[in-house]
Amino acid sequence: MRARTILTYILLGTFLISVIFSFYYKISPTVDAKAYTRIARNMVAGLGYIEHIENAGHIADDDAIVRVGPGYEFFLAGLYLITGGQNLPIVWIAQALLHVLTAFFVYKIALLLFSDRENHTQMALLAAGIIGFFPDLVVVGGMLLAETLFLTLFTAAVYFSLLFLKEWLRSHLYLTSILWGLAALVRPTAIPMALLLAGVLAYRKNWASAAIVLLPTILFIGSWSARNSLVYGRPLFTTTAGSYALWVGNNAGATGGYDKTPQIQELIDTHHSIELSKKAFGDYFAFLIHRPFKFIELQFRKAVLYFSLLRPMGLWIYLADKPIDRVITLGLSITATALLFIFGFAGAYHFFHRNIRDNVFLFGMFILQPFVVIPTYVETRYRYPLYIFLALFASFTISLILKRAISRKVILWVCLLFFLISVIDVAYSQQIFRERIKELRSEFILL
């Protein structure tokens, strides 16, 4: 009963801090968020899946297909349909509830993973609290971005996958398969996770269950791909976002992040993404074949960017001309990120070092997170699915520290590793860090 009370307080606190943040800053949709909003509004108005209203009746002329989706766009459209139009407060509240669900499923996953330990309930509560109050996830919940919905579906899918592998109930299998399919509609990076689960089941000769896991993903993604292929007159796998991401993240002028060269930007501004997708793939493979060492070096650079502790939240447009708020956001984000990575990876080492054979699926899920991002380009928010696992293992580390059952050398080595990665990140991106520090100084001077 005491654990339920604490969990209730954690979930209530998660909801309140998310709602308070959203209503305090009232972040207006920009860039991707603005595009998602336009697409959702146009769907509700019966104009089809288009971003620009002038393309109504001529869907093939519209470039909404360059946006990752359509899961989040359909989610927004559903909210707009219910509320009679664009209603940001309703979206903020809905996303706060989604964040609560994410924290709840993290709690449930922790109970499964640590069920053989005496203090498993306390560890589960701590993991839920880490996710619920993590600064980056609270911030992104106040924006109209796909991450909040994806994390909820992703975490729920992980939980029911683990539950099915433990109890082998058909009801869990059906729910798991649907959740992976829905998550894939929001972000295709969920597809490798569904394939991993199907692979584990196939290895165990459970062919029927493996097929059931993949069926909703194949139906959902296949239907969307078929629709887009027919509308745009050429074979497409989901959208053109994949080829676009590979192109931006892998070229001679790429920096590892969302930094487009002037040449690529000019082509994007003047051409439809359907026209560019073929060139994007061609340029990607040409870069891979003709400059293999540069390609390999760029993958290393993106890996450094992914694991760097110096990539916090706080550089969003909504904080422009708010230097104090920006510094607070940056400080909270970088501190929380550093602790999460250090404690999380230390805990992952201890957890998998002793019983990796019994947790093959979980281990595969853990190591897949960077591998589904690094081949394209890296942004801080693309690391969030990894945070789910790091929160679980961070709670494990803290439990071991309290029991004095963890080697200090492990934590020190992990600290040293991430310090080294962050130093390499600074060496790679000196100009970017200088510009950000200069920008922050100028904002304080104006203040």
Do the Cβ atoms of 356 and 363 come closer than 8 Å?
yes
340 in a domain, yes or no?
no
271: which residues sit within 8 A by CB, 6+ positions away?
A: none
Q: Residue 95: inside a domain, yes or no?
A: no
- Mean pLDDT on 346-364: 89
Q: Is residue 28 part of a domain?
A: no
Q: To the nearest 10°, the Cα dihedral for 155, 349, 361, 97?
A: 0
Residue 235 belongs to some domain of the structure: no
Task: Confirm whether 352 is domain-assigned.
Answer: no
Domain that includes residue 212, residue range: 152-223
Q: What is the rounded distance in angstroms from the CA atom of residue 46 to the CA atom of residue 57?
A: 10
Average pLDDT in the chain? 91
Please say if the pLDDT value at position 1 is more than 70.
no
Contact (CB, 8 A) for 411 and 129: no
Q: Number of structural domains, the chain?
A: 1
pLDDT digits (tens, 9 = 90+) for 265-275: 888 888 888 88
More confident residue, 151 or 31: 151
Please tell me the predicted confidence (pLDDT) of residue 364.
Answer: 95
| Mean pLDDT for the stretch of residues 293-317 | 90
Provide the CA 297 distance to its chain's centre, in angstroms: 24
Q: Is residue 203 part of a domain?
A: yes
Res. 442 pLDDT band, cuts 50 70 90: confident
Which tens digit of pLDDT belongs to each residue from 379-435? 999 999 999 999 999 999 999 998 888 878 889 999 999 999 999 999 998 888 888
Does the pLDDT value for residue 34 go beyond 70? yes
Backbone φ and ψ of 407, nearest 5°: -75, 130
Q: Is 346 contained in some domain? A: no
Residue 142 placed within a domain: no
Alpha carbon distance 225, 180 (integer Å)? 17
Residue 167 in this model has a pLDDT that exceeds 70: yes
Q: What is the pLDDT of residue 314?
A: 72
Q: Which residue has the higher pLDDT, 69 or 186?
A: 186
What is the signed CA dihedral for 425, 430, 435, 441, rounded to 10 degrees? 90
Contact partners, residue 83, CB within 8 Å, separation at least 6:
90
Does the pLDDT value for residue 137 go beyond 90? Answer: yes
State residue 447's pLDDT score: 62
Residue 444 in this model has a pLDDT that exceeds 80: no
Q: Residue 70 pLDDT more than 70? A: yes
Q: What is the pLDDT of residues 220-266, one digit of tens each?
A: 999 999 999 998 888 888 888 888 888 889 998 888 888 888 888 88
| pLDDT reported for residue 446 | 62
